[in-house]
Structure 1
Amino acid sequence: MQYGSHLKKLRLIRGFSQEEMGEEMHMPRSTISKIENNKMELKLSDAIRWGQVTNAPEALAAMLCGVDIASLTKLLTMLVGGIIRWI
C-alpha cells in the first residue's frame, strides 16, 4: 500500500512545508519529498513520529490498518451529529 499522498495531506492540514516537516522529523526535506512521492518507505518509528508531529495519530493508525480515512471521517461526522441531535 502506498501512503505518500495521505502523509502529505496530514502534513498540509498541519500547515507544515516539507522543510518544516523535515525539521520536526529530523530528516532532510528531500527525504520528506521521497516519502510523500512513494519513492521511499517510511519506517514504523517514523510513521509514529509523523502522526505525533501532525497531531493526527488516529488518522495515521487508521491509514496503517487499511481504513479509508475519508469514509471514517464521514461516518464519525454523522455519528457525532446524530448524538448532538439526540441530546
Structure 2
Amino acid sequence: MEYGAILKACRKRAGMTQEELAERLHMGQSDISRYESDKQEPTISLFKAWTENTQSPEVMAAFLLGIDGVTMMQQIMMTFGSAIGMILMGA
C-alpha cells in the first residue's frame, strides 16, 4: 500500500513543513521526503507518531480499520477541501 500522499496530506493539513515534522519525529527532512514519496514504507509506530504529531487521529483509525488510502484522502478532502482550495487560490 502506498502511504505517501496520505502522510503528506496530514502534514500539510497541520500546516507543517517537512523540516518541522522531521524535528518533531527526531529524523531528517530527507526521511520525511522518502516517506511522502513512497520510497520508504513507514512502520506502524512511525505512522502512529506521524498522525499524532499532525493531529490526524482519524487517519490512524481508518488505517487500523482497513480503510484504503483513496477513501482516506476523499474524507480528508471533503472535510478540509474548502480550506485547501482557499489556500491554493490565495484567499
TM norm. shorter chain > 0.5: yes
| Count of aligned positions | 74
The alpha-carbon distance between structure 1 residues 56 and 18, as it changes in their structure 2 partners (threshold 3 A), is: same
Between the aligned residues of both structures, percent identity stands at: 38
Alignment of 1:6-85 (within 5 A): 6-63=6-63, 65-67=65-67, 68-69=71-72, 70-71=74-75
TM-score, scaled to structure 2: 0.72
Segments of structure 2 that go 5 or more residues without pairing to the other structure are 79-91
Cα separation, partners in 2 of 1:20 and 1:71, compared to 1, 3 Å? closer
Q: Give the TM-score, by structure 1 length.
A: 0.75
Cα distance in 2 for partners of 1:66, 1:72 equals 16
User: Taking structure 1 as reference, are residues 29 and 64 closer, same or farther at Cα in structure 2, changes over 3 Å only?
Assistant: farther
